Amino acid sequence: MDIFRNMQIFVEVARAKSFRGAADNLGIPNSTVSRRISELERDVGLRLFDRSTRRVTLTDLRATPSGRLRVSSNMAPANEWIIPLLPQFSLRYPDITIELDIVSDTPSPTNKGVDVAVVMGPVEQEDLVARQIVHLTGLGLYASPGYIQQHGEPRSPADLCAHEGLTHLKIPKWRLINRKSGEVETISPRGRVSVANFTALQDLCLADMGICVWHKWRTQELLKKRRLQRVLPQWSLEPWEFYAVTTSRHVPARVRAFIDFLIEKQPT
């Protein structure tokens, strides 16, 4: 598909205010003009022309984005941010059809059919365009009282090396920051279990299997019920960052609307 050729046809239709007139001026069949304009509208995610039996006129290009939007994401950002926001997003953009592909490997916008991938950063590929959608603070280490009773409580980051660390497969190290001094410690926890699923890790944590990373808002009720306790409360994890990644800065309106919406609703 030649988007630049489609743009030329778009300009000619706008000038002639007619698909047939544009076809005559360009020396191509009327069906080709109609098909190429449909392709362009699909690519940009907007209806470009109002058609009537008498004439064709440009639409207001500030119209609501539309079309199919295919998003690729791992389970954690999908469950935590994307899926909970879909009702609001659909109300704002009712003409966008969303296909969310939850994958176990690294999501990529270069995969066939993917418009935007949501990934944990940093994003180092120079041929990709990344916009930060989440800067997640409030991360700490927690364990169940049963685990602490069995294994004792670590008193320093170095002590973690002697404990069961429940780590994500893609995040094997914990980068800890002392909230008072600013001191930074990078720990590679020992552990018998590593899973590429944060919810599974937290379930194992509650089952007395080890120490795990939690976000503060998910621990409040569990702390009240004494099912969890904070480990090394003076230390927090370095913020985690997630990005919306595309193959180009020039994206269809539906993609731009989705990324802007995620940024607008960014959690703290």
DSSP notation for 109-156 = TTSTT-SEEEEES----TTSEEEEEEEE--EEEEE-HHHHHHH----S
| Mean pLDDT within 14-29 | 90
**pTM given for the model:** 0.72
Residue 63: the pLDDT is 64
Residue 243: pLDDT band by 50, 70, 90 thresholds? Answer: very high
Residue 183: the pLDDT is 95
Query: What is each CA distance from 108 to 26, 184, 243, 259, 261, in whole angstroms?
Result: 39, 31, 11, 15, 20
pLDDT in tens, 41-56: 877 777 788 776 667 8
C-alpha atoms less than 13 angstroms from C-alpha of 237 in its C-beta half-sphere: 23
Residue 6: pLDDT band by 50, 70, 90 thresholds? Answer: confident
- Please list the residues that pair with 49 across neighbouring strands: 58
Percent of the chain with pLDDT over 90: 60
For tokens 């449909």, name the residue.
Answer: 38
Residue 268: pLDDT band by 50, 70, 90 thresholds? Answer: low
Residue 125: the pLDDT is 86
pLDDT exceeds cutoff 60 at 1: no
Residue 199: the pLDDT is 86
Q: What are phi and psi of 129, to 5 degrees?
A: -110, 125
pLDDT exceeds cutoff 60 at 177: yes
pLDDT in tens, 124-168: 888 899 999 999 899 999 999 999 999 999 999 999 999 999 998
Percent of the chain with pLDDT over 70: 97
257 Cα distance to chain centroid: 13
DSSP 3-state assignment of 141?
strand
- Please list the residues that pair with 217 across neighbouring strands: none
Residue 53: the pLDDT is 63
Which range scores top for mean pLDDT: 18-22, 34-38, 196-200, 211-215? 211-215
| Mean pLDDT within 14-25 | 89
Walk across the sheet containing 174-178 and list its strands: 184-187, 174-178, 235-237
Residue 233: the pLDDT is 96
Q: What mean pLDDT, rounded, does the chain reach?
A: 90
Cα torsion 179, 180, 181, 184 to 10°: value is -10
Give, in degrees to the nearest 5, the angle at Cα 147 between 146 and 150: 90
**Contact yes or no for 215/136 (Cβ under 8 A):** yes
